[in-house]
Amino acid sequence: DAEITQSPRHKITETGRQVTLACHQTWNHNNMFWYRQDLGHGLRLIHYSYGVQDTNKGEVSDGYSVSRSNTEDLPLTLESAASSQTSVYFCASSGDPGSEQYFGPGTRLTVT
Amino acid sequence: AQSVTQLDSHVSVSEGTPVLLRCNYSSSYSPSLFWYVQHPNKGLQLLLKYTSAATLVKGINGFEAEFKKSETSFHLTKPSAHMSDAAEYFCVVDNNAGNMLTFGGGTRLMVKP
């Protein structure tokens, strides 16, 4: 069955370190998204991609970057981790515009 | 611009009683609307979606929602709550211009025995 996976599921890192969170989908979807979830804010969009070599900034993109070298993967990089980036991160993918997004299980990141 | 307001951050019901989770939205476009559920420490699962067909949408696990354009609402209901329904529920709007989703703040549903 097609799926979307994230790794690691839990990560603790120190302030200032570079961190990369992986997202891999086997739906063959063109659209991929990264969100962060914080109490009281629902999910907020960090970056998104509509296809290979395409990346776009979302609502809360400062301090984050993504790259899309193939259809299956959209890694999220925190250039220099900050305590404000402690959060749960979700990756999602979708096919046609207006269709539902399929979410990964999430990565809980703690920056100390 | 679009926005989503979930009117209750917490809802508590007894098992076997009806569930009502309220959602109002604003959008400059003809939106698609979704309800997602998130069980503790899990990802988000689609409950149901409205995409301009029938205004009453039926989803999984006995949930349904009614799209009311005049009231800009998309409330989620279930006739009889089950213990397994305890979770966080998100109302979501897609402006159909690039699959950009806007999430409400979430409603935590608690079900008492």
Answer yes or no: do A100 and B34 touch at CB < 8 A: yes
Give the mean pLDDT of A79-101.
91
Per-residue pLDDT tens digits for A10-32: 999 999 999 999 999 999 999 99
The β-bridge partners of A42 are A38
Q: CA of B92: how far to CAs of A10, A50, A54, B13, B26, in Å?
A: 26, 20, 24, 23, 11
Which residue of B lies nearest to A93 if distances are taken between CA atoms?
B99
Q: In the prediction, which pLDDT does B4 show? A: 92
Q: Band of the pLDDT at A98, cuts 50, 70, 90?
A: low
Q: Which of B97, B98, B104 sits opposite A42 (nearest CB)?
A: B104
Task: Determine the distance in angstroms separating the CA of B43 from the nearest CA of chain A, rounded to an integer.
Answer: 4
Spatial distance between the Cα atoms of B86 and B34, rounded to a whole number of angstroms = 18
Q: What is the SS3 string spanning chain A? A: CCCEEEECCEEEECCCCCEEEEEEECCCCCEEEEEEEECCCEEEEEEEEEECCEEEECCCCCCEEECCCCCCECCEEECCCCHHHCEEEEEEEECCCCCCCEECCCEEEEEC
Within 8 A of A33 by CB-CB distance, chain B residues are: 101
Show which of residues 47-106 on chain B sit within 8 Å of chain A, judged by CB atoms. Answer: 49, 51, 90, 94, 96-101, 103-106
Share of chain B above pLDDT 70, in %: 98
Name beta bridge partners: A19: A78
Q: Please answer whether residues A13 and A110 qualify as being in contact, where contact means their C-beta atoms are separated by less than 8 angstroms.
A: yes
A41 pLDDT tier (thresholds 50, 70, 90):
confident
Contact A47, A65 (CB under 8 A): yes
What's the mean pLDDT in A57-63?
A: 94
- Residue in B with minimal Cα distance to A6: B43
Q: Contacts of residue B49 in chain A, CB cutoff 8 Å?
A: 100
DSSP letters for B15-52: TTS-EEE-EEEE-SS--EEEEEEE-TT--EEEEEEE-S
Share the mean pLDDT of chain B. 91
Nearest C-alpha in B relative to A38: B105
> Are residues B106 and A104, on separate chains, in Cβ contact within 8 Å?
no
* Residue B43, pLDDT score: 86
**A31: chain B residues, CB-CB within 8 Å:** 99
Q: What gap in Å lies between CA B14 and CA A50, rounded to an integer?
A: 44
Our CA-based measurement puts residue A79 at a distance from the nearest CA of chain B, in whole angstroms, of 25
DSSP single-letter state for residue B83: G
Query: Which 18-57 residues of chain A touch chain B by CB within 8 A?
Result: 31, 33, 40-45, 48, 50
Residue B55 backbone phi and psi in degrees, to 5: -75, -25
Q: Say which residue the tokens 């969170």 belong to.
A: A21
Q: Which of chain A's residues have a Cβ under 8 Å away from the Cβ of B8?
A: none
Residue A40 reports pLDDT greater than 90: no
Q: Judge: B44–A90 Cβ closer than 8 Å, yes or no.
A: yes
